[in-house]
Structure 1
Amino acid sequence: MDSITYEELTDLINSFQRQALHLEMRDSYGTAAELLHLAKWEAGEPDDTDWLQPWFDRVRAATEAGKVIRRARIVSEPVSDYQKWVLKDSHLFVEAGEDIRWIPRSRVSTVALPGNDFWLFDDQVVIFLIFAGSGSIVGRQKVTDPTIVELCRHAFDAAWELSIPDGEYKPD
């Protein structure tokens, strides 16, 4: 496995040809870009989604070019405050062109899943996202080994089969 930078991940997101799959398995994240906005929401303060516009633009450009971006979120229930915050705006990601699904963790008890969240690009490249316990990202690992690619594809497909479309997911 090769370590890659954020910029290299961004290059892959910008250059995939057919499909980008993203499997998220954590109940909360602490990425630098999100912390301020999450804190505002937790304090009951208004916040806008302007900071997400570059992502929405990227997704729109990709999907308008016929590319597919799918995101599967495996979550514990009741959902964490972080996931409540994400859920309130997830429709904006869908409107931009992402296909987002939610999977209650209890549904994937018998599904073999990798140890880390990942992106899978064009069924050729896997990027594992390595997080600290606090939720901050501490690394990214690039893998092109066909066996690992296939493992991740099967894991994503199995989770997707058990998923609930974003607009239909109503956590307790």
Structure 2
Amino acid sequence: MSQSLSSFADLLRAVERSAVHLELRDAYDMGNETAGFEAWKRGHRLDPADRASWWRPWLDLVQEVTSKGVQVQRARVVTEPPSEYIRYEHSFTFTNVAAGEEVRWLPRSSAAGIALPEHDFWLFDGRLVQFNVFDEAGRWIRTDQTEEPAAVAGCVKAFDEVWDRAISHEKYSV
């Protein structure tokens, strides 16, 4: 089960300034990614020159939004050495960057002192938080949205602190 891309796309298209995403897990069990992960484990890698083979429709949506001047940032807090899933994510993150996202990685050991939330989240225009709730196995359960000022402020602070310490995708290696 996953959130409808169209409902999420509507949220992202409504953004005027920024959409930031904080990822905190070392593995996800996203049913729609299973084939790609299995192919990666067998040695398949995305070809930077073959944009048509990249993750659609997500990258088209990011490109659409960033072309309007919206800043899309993604920060991943990861355990080192990285899990097999994080190495998989790292291998195709160049596609996110090519679509217009700014992506940074923060080793979990460098996150000491940051009040990280319990769940991954998206923060839209610094006013609406969408938490993505996963079970222990990394399966998506639901999203919870809030504009409650304390929750928003906590997420803004957590993301900003992670972003400031994190390493750009181009400089982070797994």
Structure 2 SS opposite 1:23: strand
Aligned match of 2:72: 69
Q: Contact (CA 8 Å) 1:30, 1:134: kept in 2 or not?
A: yes
Change (3 A) 1:54 1:8: closer
Instruction: Name which of 146, 149, 152 aligns with 1:146.
Output: 149
Change (3 A) 1:46 1:60: closer
Normalising by structure 2, we get a TM-score of 0.90
Q: What's the CA shift for 1:9?
A: 2.9
Q: What's the CA shift for 1:162?
A: 0.5
Q: How does 1:68-147 map to 2 (within 5 A)?
A: 68-147=71-150
Q: Taking every aligned residue pair, what percent have the same amino acid on both sides? A: 36
Q: Distance in 1 between matches of 2:11 and 2:96?
A: 19
Q: Distance in 2 between matches of 1:51 and 1:41?
A: 13
Structure 2 SS opposite 1:139: strand
Which ranges of structure 1 fall in alignment gaps of 5 or more residues? none
Q: What's the CA shift for 1:55?
A: 1.3
Aligned match of 2:55: 52
Aligned match of 1:11: 10
Q: How does 1:156-167 map to 2 (within 5 A)?
A: 156-167=159-170
Q: Contact (CA 8 Å) 1:117, 1:129: kept in 2 or not?
A: yes
Q: What's the CA shift for 1:163?
A: 0.4
Q: Contact (CA 8 Å) 2:12, 2:65: kept in 1 or not?
A: no
Which ranges of structure 2 fall in alignment gaps of 5 or more residues? none
Normalising by structure 1, we get a TM-score of 0.91
Aligned match of 1:28: 27
Q: Distance in 1 between matches of 2:78 and 2:45?
A: 25
Deviations 1:62-100 (A, max 9, x none): 111111100000000000000111111111110110000
Q: Contact (CA 8 Å) 1:75, 1:103: kept in 2 or not?
A: yes
Structure 1 SS opposite 2:114: coil
